[in-house]
Amino acid sequence: MPLRGSREGAYLDEQILLAAGAPPPGAFAAGGGGSRLFGGRRAAAVSTVSTVVFLGVVVVLFVFAPGAAAVRHTFFNPQQMWQAFRGDPSKGLYSVGKGLILNVEMFLIAEVLILFCALVIAVLRQLRNPVLFPFRMLAVIYTDVFRGVPLIIVIFAIGFGAPALYIRGISTQSDFVYGIAALVLSYSAYVAEVYRAGINSVHQSQVAAARSLGLSQWKSLRYVVLPQAVRTVIPPLLNDFISLQKDTALVSTLGAVIEANRAAQIDSSTLFVYSSYTVAALLFLCLTIPLARFTDHLIARDVGRRMAGGGAIR
């Protein structure tokens, strides 16, 4: 406001100052009244009641819906669920439980490869050496393409495309290998971007300090930037791995790999009910929920640390 300093402005300032008297008594009290202590107890009571009511409505809908009995029979049939979990070769049933172990195997192998490939790609995009220009360009194209193409198309392209090429050593691999290759190709693009965000979050002054000691660009990255970057991106990385863990189920579309989802498909077509899918879903939840809680724990710890480190410059 151009009025400040002028006589008119001084008058306005005074008005504003006078208008802002002390707040009336009770102005800071919460709408519901009561002290903070009892407010806490009240809040607990309210949340309990609302949870009970909410769950009640859900259960009523589920139990008294017109098709409830049919749904229970097809999706929540305990006997069929147990059969699907265990499998029974004599009846042509595959074990969803065993299938899940295959999922976990694929997940673990893919994860290690992804962590490595993605780091290489992220670092390639970061290095400014002119000799590396073609690699940098390749890395950019790669991340653009594989983040844009749906995973299921990558799985089809490799699972059906690689055998059709008749290349020795490549075309004769199992669907298990093709599935992992597709997961690695697709997820490395995402994870490379997560790494890159982490690298960019390390302040330039850290790079300046490293370079000023005579460390090369690569050594600064290796000893100063990457260790800090990786620490920052662990929670988002875990988030991507929760997603990877369940996306391993898509490899079932190749048909020959009897992992959890494929086992459930076969079982449901044998038993004529979908309970096997429920088993697969529950088993996946058993893996992803602990991972999700662990991620939350890490994020909370990180926030706590940042608060504690807030006074670093004293």
Partner 1 sequence: MTGLGATGGLEGGEPGEYQAAGEEAIRLEGVHKSFGDLGVLRGIDLSVAPHEVICLIGASGSGKSTLLRCVNLLEPVNEGRIFLWGHDVTSAGVDENAVRRHIGIVFQSFNLFPHMTVLRNITLGPTRVLGLSRDDAEDRGRALLSRFGLSEKKDDYPDRLSGGQQQRVAIVRALAMQPGIMLLDEVTSALDPELVAEVLGVIGELASAGMTMLIATHEMGFARDIADRVCFLDEGVILEQGPPKQVFTAPVNSRTQQFLRRIVEAGRL
Tell me which residues touch partner 1 (CB under 8 A).
205-206, 208-216, 219, 223-224, 227-228, 231, 308-309, 312-314
Task: Name 88's bridge partners.
Answer: 93
| Residue 305: CB minimum distance to partner 1, A | 9
Pick between residue 153 and residue 213 the one whose CB is nearest to partner 1: 213
**Dihedral sign (CA 194, 297, 102, 251):** negative
Pick between residue 22 and residue 312 the one whose CB is nearest to partner 1: 312
The distance of Cα 241 from the centroid of its chain, to the nearest Å, equals: 6
| Residue 225: CB minimum distance to partner 1, A | 10
Joined tokens for residue 141:
């194209």
Pick between residue 6 and residue 129 the one whose CB is nearest to partner 1: 129
Pick between residue 30 and residue 312 the one whose CB is nearest to partner 1: 312
Q: What is the identity of the amino acid at 52?
A: V
| Residue 237: CB minimum distance to partner 1, A | 17
Question: H helices then E strands: how many in the chain?
Answer: 13, 0
Which residues, in sequence order, are CB contacts of 188 under 8 Å at separation 6+? 113, 114, 117, 118, 121, 146
| Residue 234: CB minimum distance to partner 1, A | 13
What letter does residue 172 receive in the DSSP assignment?
T
The Cα–Cα gap between 92 and 84 comes to: 11
Pick between residue 73 and residue 211 the one whose CB is nearest to partner 1: 211
Query: 210 — alpha (psi -120 to 50), left (phi > 0) or beta?
Result: alpha
| Residue 10: CB minimum distance to partner 1, A | 27
